[in-house]
Amino acid sequence: MTTTTDWCYLLGTISFVGIVVLHSWWKATNESMSYPPGPVKLPLIGSVHLLPQRYQERTLAEWGKTFGDIVFAKLFQTPAIIISSYDIARDLMERRSGNYSDRPRFILIVELMGWKNAITHLPYGEQFRLHRKWMQNAFQTKSALDGYRSIQRREVIVFLNNILSSPNTWASHLTRFSASIIMEITYGHQVTSSDDKFIGIAQRAGEETVTAGSPGSMLVDFFPIMKLIPAWCPGGGFKRKAAVAGKYVRELYDAPYNMVRDNMRKGTARPSFTANLIEQLDRDGRLTHEWEENVKGAAAAVYAAGTETTATVMMTFMLAMVRYPDVYRKLQEEINQVVGSERLPDCDDRQALPYTECVIKETYRWRTPVPLGIPHSSTKPDAYNDYHIPQNAMVIPNIWAMSQDERMYYNPTEFRPERFLKTNVLDPKNIVFGFGRRQCPGNELADRSIFLLISGIAATMDITKCKDSMGIEITPPPNFTSGLVSRPEEFCCTIKPRSGKAERLVRQMNVVVTEE
């Protein structure tokens, strides 16, 4: 006779066997899918020994040519997926963005330097979605973008007037141009001098951050226990650098925010991203210290990301025009024909300037400002083209490799805007601003600023090569710095007004904007 105990034993045995069988099936299924091919991996260090300190995008691009457009590597014990193809980047980070929108843990830049509550480094979740909503409302609606046009036009005129006064310091004028636009939009502060206090704070914070290291690139990011090393110990130099950077990052968070709060109390605050958020949170009764830190982080991220990349793109444009004078002449001719010489180009002229549009696209492509982007992270295991992608893998889009893909861009090292007259060529704006839910929310604002400045320069200025003591023209080499942001190494060029009429136009317009 079968007892209740016997039945329980039998059911338990069946359940156990079933679990074992299901586990074996799951394990066999997953193990039957191998990782993507990749470089040799050594115990403990993985493939780190194969990566150079500088220009890592080039080595990763070589891996792509050797192993394929999706490569598996190990950076110490962290699994890494390197993507060198736009199609794969789109498939994973856009079409499967729910799984590829997270970030690795950035110990150096977030936990030690203090870049907390910055959307660029936030893990994917509720806080990230809130910050992205703030950004979308401020930078992606047509009404918001149109509201910034007067600031952008004014700063183009200020830049051109500064060139007339001191053409040899054109690079610093470019930095001021991008910083002034973002500073006013973010904090309502209009920059009126080259030694502006708040721009100085932001520049120092950016410089010290870059010097201390890039996100996901330092040992402490792979071995969190290194956080505990005292700064005075051998090997603790990264903590000393991070502490210096952290001081300026904290000042960037606090100083402009406090300026906005003080102006709001006085009733003199100008409309801005920060003021709008403070008003909204105060109205809802949520302006606590925690929420203030969220606003500070969001504003600092907008300023830091927008200023550096826009200035870098413009410096790349300047280098390209010096090296390719025929391109610059065609650009000037188109603007002459469409806009004339009585005014500066405006956003409404853009559709009628197809060659100008091609020049902007080729500037983005020729040398992408952020070659490797900021790594994504996979939230859960995934399969792609019969390859296994593990959970918590660092996913690195090699934007530089995509921009130099010979299958898409013929002779990619050459600056050839005409390539974009064909409709089947990938628009580099689809890659340089990032992917999926991590795409730069200020891309349209940056793109408008770049259009207005490029077309304004071409309408009023001639850019030519410098000459040496023998009167021989100097062609600057296409050399770029290594790092998270890659910009042209310092070079010389000559900038002069195209004509007396162009010079008078710039000076007259500057008088108008100065009086406003």
Cβ 92 vs Cβ 98: under 8 Å: no
Cβ neighbourhood burial of 341 (10 Å; 0-12, 13-18, 19+): middle
Q: Where are the beta strands (DSSP E) in 355-419?
A: 376-377, 382-384, 387-389, 394-397
What are the tokens at 131? 């910050």
Q: From the centroid of its chain, how far is CA 372?
A: 9
Q: Return d(Cα 46, Cα 77) in angstroms, integer.
A: 7
- Give 110's DSSP letter: I
Helix pair 273-283, 289-323: axis angle to 10 deg: 160
What are the tokens at 437? 């839910």
Q: How many other C-beta atoms lie within 10 A of the C-beta of residue 259?
A: 17
Residue 415 carries which side chain, given as an amino acid letter? F
Q: Is 466 annotated as a binding residue?
A: no
Q: How many other C-beta atoms lie within 10 A of the C-beta of residue 238?
A: 20
Q: Give Cα separations from 279 to 148, 338, 457 (angstroms).
A: 20, 44, 38
Q: Return d(Cα 257, Cα 276) in angstroms, integer.
A: 12
Q: Return d(Cα 453, Cα 83) in angstroms, integer.
A: 33
Cβ 152 vs Cβ 455: under 8 Å: no
Q: Return d(Cα 152, Cα 439) in angstroms, integer.
A: 22
DSSP secondary structure, 316-354, as one string: HHHHHHHH-HHHHHHHHHHHHHHH-SSS---GGGGGG-H
Alpha helices in 166-235 (DSSP H): 170-187, 197-212, 219-222
- Give 47's DSSP letter: T
Q: Return d(Cα 202, Cα 191) in angstroms, integer.
A: 13
Q: What counts of helices (H) and strands (E) characterise the chain?
A: 18, 8
Residue 250 carries which side chain, given as an amino acid letter? R
Cβ 303 vs Cβ 310: under 8 Å: no
Q: From the centroid of its chain, how far is CA 479?
A: 20
Q: Which residues are annotated binding-site positions?
A: 440
As annotated, the binding site for heme includes 440
